[in-house]
Amino acid sequence: MTKHAARPAIRRRNRTLMVAAPLVALALWSWGIDAAQAAEPGKDAPAAGLPRILVLATGGTIAGQADARATGAYKSGQITGEQLMASVPGLDKLAKLNAEQISSIGSQDMNDKVWFALARRIQDAFDKNEADGILITHGTDTLEETAFFLDNVVRGDKPVVIVGSMRPATAVSADGPGNLYEAVQVAADPRSRGRGVMAVLNDKIQSARSITKTNTTSIETFSSPNDGPIGYVDTAGGIRFMTQAGGSKRATYQLPAGEQLPRVEIVYSHANMDAVPIEDAISHGAKGIVLAGVGDGNTSKQALDALEAAAKKGIIVVRSTRVRSGFVTRNVEVDDDKNGFVVSEDLNPQKARVLTQLLIAGGVTAPAELQKAFTATW
C-alpha cells in the first residue's frame, strides 16, 4: 500500500479515536453516579461479622458535581451519601454501611442546626448500639470546626471519622473515592476506638483538635501544625497509628436545649486596628469575642482597651492568633489577669470560638474557669 492510500485509513482511525475517547471518559465520569443510582437497599449485602458503620452525609465538595459556568466549577452537595458509598468499589468488603442524609450543603453554610442534628444522631446511634463507628462526609471549608465541635459533645469511645475532598466527585482526578475508602478503613478498625473524632484525608489521620486547612485548592491542604498527624492510612499498607489511644478523657459538654449556640464573634487584628470591629460585635449581641491577634495574640492599644472594657461588661474575651502555629501565652505581652482575658493555648480562632460557645452555653463564664477548660483540651 502506498503512503497516499494509507492516509484515508489513518484519518478514519484518528476520527474513531477522537470520538471514542470522550465516550470512554464520559462513561468513567458517570460510572460511579449511575452505579449508585442503580443500587438497591439490601442487594449484595456484605458478609456477616463486618463492623457496622453509620454514614452521615452533609454535602460538600466530596458530593459535588461539575457546573458549566467555568472550567473546574462545581456545585456542592449534589450527590447523596448512598450514591457516594455505592460508587467506591470494595467498601462492602470493609464494613456494613448504612447511609443517612443529614444535609446537602457546602460547608461554608454549616450551621448550629446541622451540628446539633449530627451530634444527636451520633449519640443516639451509640447509646442504642446501632453502629460500631460513624463516618461523616463533609465539605473541607469548615470540616475542622465540625470535627472539633463533635469531639467536645459526643460521649463514648467508638470511632467518629469525618472525611471530605478538595475536588468534586465528577473531577477528572477526584480525591474523594480514595479518601472515602481510607475513612471507612479507619472507622471500621478496632484500633480507632478511644481516639476522639478523627479526620481522614490524603492518606493522613488527624485529630479534631489539631487539624486545620492550610491551602485553598491543593489536595495536600490539611495539617496539624503543632503536633502532626496521629496516623497514616493507605489502601495497600493499611493503618499505622503514631500515638496511643485513650489517655485522660477530656470533658464533654451538653448541647443547649434549643438549636443555637451563644453568639461569639471573631475579630481579626491588623495594622492600624481600632475599636470599631469590637464595638460592632458588642452592638450585635456577642456574648464572647475571640481575638485573632497578631503574633502572640496581641493587638493595638485601641483594640485592647475596647476588649478590656468588654470584659468588664461580662463579655468573654479569648486571645487567639492569626499565626498558623504556636501557643498563645498568658501575661507575656498582655496582662491577662488584670484584663480578665482568656488565652486559647494553641487553638486557632475558629476552634477557640466553638469552645467558647460551648462553655458559655454550659454556664461557664468566670475567666479562671474558662482558662482551665481551654488548658484541659491539650
| Model pLDDT for residues 49-78, shown as the tens digit of each residue | 999 999 999 999 998 776 767 767 777 778
The string of pLDDT tens digits covering residues 104-115 is 999 999 999 999
Residue type, 342: V
100 with 229, same domain: the answer is yes
272 with 184, same domain: the answer is no
State the cell numbers at 100: 443517612
**pLDDT averaged over the chain?**
87
232 with 268, same domain: the answer is no
Q: Which of 33-37, 45-49, 65-69, 259-263 has the lowest mean pLDDT?
A: 33-37
Instruction: Please say if 71 is a catalytic residue.
Output: no
71 with 208, same domain: the answer is yes
214 with 90, same domain: the answer is yes
Q: What is the pLDDT of residue 209?
A: 94
48 with 196, same domain: the answer is yes
CB under 8 Å to 200, separation ≥6 — which residues? 161, 162, 163, 179, 182, 183, 186, 206, 233
Please report whether residue 232 resides in a domain. yes
Q: Supply the range of the domain harboring residue 150.
A: 40-241
Which of 241, 273, 295 is a domain's end point?
A: 241
The answer to whether residue 238 scores a pLDDT higher than 50 is yes
Q: What is the pLDDT of residue 271?
A: 98
The answer to whether residue 306 scores a pLDDT higher than 70 is yes
Give the CATH number, domain containing residue 289: 3.40.50.40
pLDDT classification of 18: cutoffs 50, 70, 90: very low
Nearest to 306 by CA among 252, 147, 315: 315
193 with 316, same domain: the answer is no
Determine contact, residues 60/139, Cβ cutoff 8 Å: yes
Q: What is the pLDDT of residue 328?
A: 97
Q: What is the pLDDT of residue 65?
A: 74
The answer to whether residue 40 scores a pLDDT higher than 50 is no
Rounded CA separation 318/320 (Å): 6
The single-letter DSSP state of residue 328 is B
The answer to whether residue 41 scores a pLDDT higher than 70 is no
Please report whether residue 21 resides in a domain. no
192 with 132, same domain: the answer is yes
226 with 280, same domain: the answer is no
Q: What is the pLDDT of residue 66?
A: 67
Q: What is the pLDDT of residue 45?
A: 43
205 with 280, same domain: the answer is no
The string of pLDDT tens digits covering residues 164-192 is 999 988 788 888 899 999 999 999 999 99
Set 2, 16, 58, 61: catalytic member: 61
Please report whether residue 251 resides in a domain. no
Count of domains forming the chain: 2
Give the CATH number, domain containing residue 230: 3.40.50.1170
Please report whether residue 180 resides in a domain. yes
Segment 239-268 shows an average pLDDT of 87
- Reading phi first (left if > 0) and then psi (alpha if -120 to 50, else beta), residue 335 is in beta
Which of 241, 276, 294 is a domain's end point?
A: 241
